[in-house]
Chains A and B, each alone.
Chain A
Amino acid sequence: MSFLTLTHLQKSFGSVKVVHDFNMTIEKGEFISFLGPSGCGKTTVLRMIAGFEIPTGGTIEIAGKDQTNLRPNQRNIGMVFQAYALFPNMSVFDNVAFGLKVAGKPKSEIDARVKEMLKLIHLEHLSDRYPYQMSGGQQQRVALARALAPKPQVLLLDEPLSALDAKIRVSLREEIRQIQRQLGITTVFVTHDQEEALSISDRIVVMNAGKADQIGTPGEIYNRPTTRFVANFVGTLNVIEAILVNAATGTVKIGEEVVSLPQPITGKSDGQSISIAFRPEAATIAGPSTGPAAVTGTVLSSNFLGSVVRTKVDAGGNIISFDMFNQASAQIPKAGETVSLSLQPDGLMVLGD
């Protein structure tokens, strides 16, 4: 039974169509991320769910009730903004209490709920502070508590972490995810940071030019992108040409290496040239233990990325990136060296178009 349903959602600003036919069903308690490049309409969809924008077409349903024509203050939706948006004239306590006061809850209930919320975000000791007396990370946690206090049906977050520095960003996103799980609240999280989306979501919606290009779990999005846009947008992707040897068994010849893909290839005939995509981690340096080389080229650069080393290789004009674990014993390729790579069959994707 889906909880939040978006059906044929559309939005135009004047003559500019910003959201085309957006469809999605979200289960109760799910954590969904909208991921996509700047200007693809993530915020617009979120604002339509919140009621700040009126859809040009389509409907929004929450728990079976049509919300499309409700005003924002009638929807009971929690919202967290990129710019925190705490009320500057109120203390932390009063900020968190605001929604409850507006709802006319008795004072004892408000006190208890605010304390509970502040405990959830580990800021009980700052309840008398004012927003300007706190760090960005603390302010955003208060904003989260404020949004959650009135027990909203859905929690919406629009790039809540982009204004914070890298370390806080990672710890706060985990905190958000943990709180979300604890409360079991249905959540939509907008981001343009793919690592963020991949690390905390149940499902990701990859958006492109006002449409949902692909909806799937982080694993599906990363390992089995269904469109070229998704494949290119999420993670680093190498694309090389291969010759189809046997479509039925999924066998292709890449350079000197003959590999069998996990699934048969449809829509192409044997002997045809096809495009194969693979992630940097699907390639390894060819050696006695691997098959013959699929790709041979000249190393352009090697960069440490912490636990892995990413090497860029120029293979006949195609720039290929591959990763190897940063182990003390590993031979790091140097610029100018010639390396041969073989590819793991289950890391290969055939691109449709």
Chain B
Amino acid sequence: MKRFWAWGALIIGLLYFILPLIGMTNFSLKMRRGVYSFDAYAKVLGDTRFQETFSYSVTLALLTILVGVFLVVPTAYWVRLKLPFLRPYIEFVTLLPLVIPAIVVVFGYIRLYNTSSWLPLTGTALGTDVLLVAGYTMLALPYMYRAVDTGLRTIDVTTLTEAAQSLGAGWFTIITRIILPNVLVAVLSGAFLTFAIVIGEFTMAALLNRPAFGPYMQVLGANRAYEPAALAVIAFAITWGCLGLIQLVSRFQKSAQRPV
């Protein structure tokens, strides 16, 4: 009886999750009347707006990952090494983006960096891109910090640092040659999550008026019938691809670091 309910719950859960997906995929394939076809996909992929916004978002995602790694790895390392009592506070700060809506942050940015401010970043495209990357970095912070901090927990940060120092290494060498390689898998899972977040992000890009993928999806969704469904399937595939890659690298780490 117990088993029955367990299976029942699982099946209902799966249906709840999968049915809309199937419906959407089904719909996305029906652009040509009466037959299944990839017409909607071809149309989406062939659209220059798609290509532009997608490559714009990919570029920004990569930049966000870079900035995030440069910001988070040394910080998490330093906190573990020298300021362990600050860890709970730092963790709290990195969780703030989860409770502060992106729209609040964007309005803050616009107020602070508008064209009549002391640092008119919103005045140029490049300046706005800088702001956007900063905002994305912040959005990704909870995931990036946790991933890296968890990675650091698996190594003896203090002793490895001292071993490297006694061999003559300075901070730059220690972080790039010892710390980063040992948390690389954690950094990669943080990076894939960041990628997935940035690709789909709407609020910040829209309000800062940049040609990103999120706003494009929204515009397309409001004006077309079949293409948005195809686009959603594509976006889903990207996110799931990222999650799959996280699984893959963490499995790779398990086989590389555990005694065989």
* A contact set with B: CB distance below 8 Å: 50-52, 71-79, 81, 83, 85-89, 98-99, 102-103, 132-133, 143, 146-147, 150
Chain A residue numbers with a CB within 8 Å of B159 are 81, 83, 85
Closest CB of chain A to B249's CB: distance in Å?
14
Closest CB of chain B to A158's CB: distance in Å?
10
Chain A residue numbers with a CB within 8 Å of B164 are 87, 98
Given contacts A81-B162, A133-B260, contact A89 B170 (CB under 8 A): no
Are A102 and B257 closer than 8 Å at their CB atoms?
no
Say whether B181 faces chain A, with CB atoms less than 8 Å apart.
Answer: yes
Q: Which of A76, A79, A81, A133 contacts B259 (CB 8 A)?
A: A133
Contact with A along B247-260 (1 / 0, CB 8 A): 00000000001111
Chain A residue numbers with a CB within 8 Å of B15 are none
Most chain A beta-carbon contacts within 10 A, residue among B164, B165, B258: B165
A-B contact pairs, 5 of them (CB 8 A): A73-B170, A87-B178, A88-B182, A89-B178, A146-B167
Say whether B223 faces chain A, with CB atoms less than 8 Å apart.
Answer: no
Apart from A103-B168, A132-B258, what are 5 other A-B pairs with CB-CB below 8 Å?
A83-B159, A99-B168, A132-B259, A146-B163, A150-B167
Are B166 and A89 closer than 8 Å at their CB atoms?
no
Chain A residue numbers with a CB within 8 Å of B170 are 73
Say whether B173 faces chain A, with CB atoms less than 8 Å apart.
Answer: yes
Say whether B169 faces chain A, with CB atoms less than 8 Å apart.
Answer: yes
Closest to A88 in B: B182
Q: Which of A71, A81, A102 contacts B167 (CB 8 A)?
A: A102
Closest CB of chain A to B73's CB: distance in Å?
14
Are B257 and A132 closer than 8 Å at their CB atoms?
yes
Closest CB of chain A to B254's CB: distance in Å?
12
Q: Which of B156, B177, B181, B257 contacts A85 (CB 8 A)?
A: B156
Chain A residue numbers with a CB within 8 Å of B98 are none
Closest CB of chain B to A153's CB: distance in Å?
12
Are B169 and A102 closer than 8 Å at their CB atoms?
yes
Q: What is the CA–CA distance of A133 and B260 in the complex, to the nearest angstrom? A: 7
Chain B residue numbers with a CB within 8 Å of A85 are 156, 159-160, 162-163
Say whether B155 faces chain A, with CB atoms less than 8 Å apart.
Answer: yes
Are B166 and A88 closer than 8 Å at their CB atoms?
no
* B contact set with A: CB distance below 8 Å: 155-156, 159-160, 162-170, 173, 177-178, 181-182, 257-260
Chain B residue numbers with a CB within 8 Å of A87 are 160, 163-164, 178, 182
Are B182 and A78 closer than 8 Å at their CB atoms?
no
Given contacts A79-B166, A83-B159, A146-B167, contact A89 B182 (CB under 8 A): yes
Closest CB of chain A to B236's CB: distance in Å?
35
Chain A residue numbers with a CB within 8 Å of B156 are 83, 85
Chain A residue numbers with a CB within 8 Å of B163 are 79, 81, 85-87, 143, 146
Are B169 and A50 closer than 8 Å at their CB atoms?
no
Q: What is the CA–CA distance of A102 and B165 in the complex, to the nearest angstrom? A: 10
**Which 10 residue pairs are nearest across A and B when measured between Cβ atoms?**
A99-B167, A79-B166, A89-B181, A72-B165, A85-B159, A85-B163, A102-B168, A73-B165, A102-B169, A73-B168
Q: Which of A72, A132, A133 contacts B166 (CB 8 A)?
A: A72
Most chain A beta-carbon contacts within 10 A, residue among B156, B159, B165, B168: B168
Are A88 and B260 closer than 8 Å at their CB atoms?
no
Closest to B259 in A: A132
Chain A residue numbers with a CB within 8 Å of B168 are 73-74, 76, 99, 102-103, 150
Q: Which of B169, B181, B258 contacts A73 (CB 8 A)?
A: B169
Chain B residue numbers with a CB within 8 Å of A98 are 164, 167, 169, 177
Are A79 and B162 closer than 8 Å at their CB atoms?
yes
Q: What is the CA–CA distance of A132 and B181 in the complex, to the nearest angstrom? A: 16
Closest to A94 in B: B177
Closest to A52 in B: B162
Chain A residue numbers with a CB within 8 Å of B169 are 73, 98, 102
Closest CB of chain A to B168's CB: distance in Å?
5
Q: What is the CA–CA distance of A133 and B255 in the complex, to the nearest angstrom? A: 12
Chain A residue numbers with a CB within 8 Å of B259 are 132-133
Q: What is the CA–CA distance of A72 and B182 in the complex, to the nearest angstrom? A: 22
Are A147 and B166 closer than 8 Å at their CB atoms?
yes
Closest to B155 in A: A88
Q: Which of A74, A75, A88, A150 contacts B257 (CB 8 A)?
A: A88
Closest to A87 in B: B178
Chain A residue numbers with a CB within 8 Å of B173 are 102
Q: What is the CA–CA distance of A229 and B254 in the complex, to the nearest angstrom? A: 50
Closest CB of chain A to B187's CB: distance in Å?
13
Chain A residue numbers with a CB within 8 Å of B160 are 85, 87
Chain B residue numbers with a CB within 8 Å of A51 are 165-166
